[in-house]
Amino acid sequence: MSTARIGPVPADRLEDFFRAMGVPFSFDPAEDDLDEARGFWAPEWLTAAWDDDRIVATFGSFPLRMRLPGGATVPTGGTTVVTVMPTHRRQGLLRRLMRDHLDREREAGSAMAALWASEATIYGRFGYGIASDDWRLTLPRRHAVFADPPDITGRMRLVDAAEAADVLPPIFAAATADRPGTFERTDHWWRNRILQDPERHRSGYTPRRIVVHRREGEDVGYAFWRTKGGPDGLELITTELLGIDPDAERALWQFLFGVDLVNEIKAPRRPSGDLLRWWLRDPRKLERQESDALWVRPLDVRACLEARRWDVDGAIVLEVHDPWYEDVTGRWRLEASDGAATVTRTDEEAVVSMGVDTLGTLLMGGFGAELLARAGRLGGTPEALRAVDRLFRWPIPPWVQEVF
C-alpha cells in the first residue's frame, strides 16, 4: 500500500499535473497544450496523489449537469483524467482517489458520477455501469444517397468560432433536451473546450468548418466537419451534427454529402439507433461499429429515480447492493404514477436485486432488465423482471455527446 497522500492541485502545479498525466496516457504536453489547459481547467476540478512533492497519480471531476430520461438534469461528478504512474501501480492509489472523489461528490450533493471509460475493465468494480452505446459510422461517398431525397427548406451558412459561441448553444440545448446522457455545456465549456481548434490536435485534417442550418428565421441545426486527403480522394469527418428535429439533421447530412471531392464520410460518435441508417437508399453500406460510451455510478438512489420520468405507472421494490455506501445499499420502494415517481426506504421483500452498477445501467433507460438478468447482472422472478423492464425502459436511447 502506497504512503502517498491524496490532495488538491494548487494552481501553480497544473503543469506538473499534466506532465504526470502524460506518462500513462502516452503524450508529452507542449507549451501550447499547457497554455490551453491553464485556460480551461479549474484547479478545484483536479486531485493528485503526492509522493513527497511529486505527483504520482491524477484524478479529475467536472461539475456536470447530466440529463436523465424525460429531460431533467441532475448534478453529476464527471470522472476524468484518471491515471497512475507506472512506478506506483498496484499500490491502492486508484481506489483511494476514487473513494475521495465519490465521497466529495456526495458531500457536494451530486446524484451520481459518470465517465467515458478509456478502458472498460477498470470502473465496474467502483460501481459504474454501462449506460449507453454509441456508433462509429463510415459511409462511402458513392452510397451517400437518401432513399427519399429531402426537400430542404431554408439555407446553410458557414460561421467562425466567435459567431458559433453565440449561435450554437441554443441549438445544442434544444437538440439534446430529451436525450438521456447528454450534459449541459457552460459558456466556459463552449469557448475553451468545444470551439478550440489548435493545429496540433487536427491529426492532418483541415481546420474545423462549422455550418449552421437556418429555417423559417430560426437556427435549427449545425455540424462540424474537416477533411483530409487520401489516395482515392478526401476523407470527411464530422465530430458533431445536431438538429432540433429530424428534418434539420437530414438537411445537414445532405449538405455534407455534397462537399466536393470526398470519397468517404466518417462520424465517430453518433447515438445508437442513429436515424441516418433509416434514411439511406442502401443502409447496408453504412458501416457501424458499436462501443460502450457513458458509464454511470448512482450516489443518491432517491435523487436519481425521482428526477427521471416514467412512461408507465407501477410499483416495485428493488434491493440495491453498494460495497461502499450503506445509505445506497438496501431496499427501495419505487412508485411511478403520471410520469413521476416517489422512492422510499422499505422493509418489504424485494422482488429484484442488483448491484449499484446495474442500477446505473437501468437508470438511463437504454438497456432492459430482462437482458441484464440473462447476463447475470440482476435477479428476480420473470414477472418482476418484466415489470422492471416496462418501468425503466425509455423510448429515446441514451447518448453522451463527447468524450470527457
**Residue for grid cell 421483500:** 349
Residue 82: partners with Cβ closer than 8 Å, 6 or more residues away: 58, 59, 60, 94, 97, 98, 115, 118, 122
In angstroms, the Cα distances linking 397 to 158, 196, 275, 287 are: 30, 29, 12, 20
Q: Determine contact, residues 49/6, Cβ cutoff 8 Å.
A: yes
Three-state SS at 209: strand
First to last CA, the chain: 29
Cite the beta strand spans of 26-168 per DSSP E.
46-51, 54-67, 73-84, 112-116, 129-130, 133-140, 155-158
> What is residue 272's DSSP assignment?
T
In angstroms, the Cα distances linking 115 to 43, 105, 381 are: 19, 14, 32
Report which of 57, 82, 83 is spatially closest to residue 3, judged by C-alpha positions.
Answer: 57
Residues with a known catalytic role? 123, 404
Report which of 33, 58, 32 is spatially closest to residue 45, judged by C-alpha positions.
Answer: 58
Q: Determine contact, residues 153/220, Cβ cutoff 8 Å.
A: no
Question: Exposed/middle/buried for 330, CB within 10 Å: 0-12, 13-18, 19+?
Answer: middle
Report which of 85, 28, 34 is spatially closest to residue 59, judged by C-alpha positions.
Answer: 85
Residue 360: partners with Cβ closer than 8 Å, 6 or more residues away: 112, 127, 128, 129, 131, 295, 296, 297, 298
Residue 352 is inside which H or E element, if any? strand 352-355
